[in-house]
Amino acid sequence: MTRPDQGLARHQRLTRSADFRSAYDVGRKQVGRCMVLFLLPRPEGSLRLGVVSSRKIGGAVQRNRARRLLREAFRKNRHHLRGQADIVLVARAHVLETALPRIEHELLTLAARAGLIEKQPEPNANLHQS
């Protein structure tokens, strides 16, 4: 049984600082407890993701872990998201104290508010774990 590719190829990632700036300046913003989602619709291409964590999160190890958690939540739930847009996820300090299923749920909630999901998926049974 083969699984669909769930990695993030280079064309699915934001790499230029100008792309991040555009998302911050022009995009819509959805704020959650673990992350802030910036969404900038674009006419061509597919969904592209950029993940950011500032020094407010902690040292390099904590910042890298926060980015890994957000990327993993996006990667596992990308099939729920529709549209052509640049998405920037900005980690907040609470992400380090939160279990991955809850991070995924928050990502889907913010994405639904931003219009990336027609119908929000059912929450996982594991959400009560923190």
Strands 48-52 and 28-31: unpaired
CATH of the structural domain 29-117, one choice from 3.40.50.1000, 3.30.230.10, 1.20.1050.10, 3.30.70.580: 3.30.230.10
* Averaged pLDDT in 10-residue chunks for the chain of 130 residues: 62 90 94 96 87 95 97 93 93 96 96 83 55
Q: What residues form DSSP beta bridges with 116?
A: none
Are 40 and 86 in contact by the 8 Å Cβ rule? The answer is yes
Q: Where are the domains of the chain?
A: 29-117
pLDDT at residue 121, rounded to an integer: 54
The identity of residue 68, as a single letter, is R
Model confidence, pTM: 0.84
Residue whose token pair is 């995009």: 27
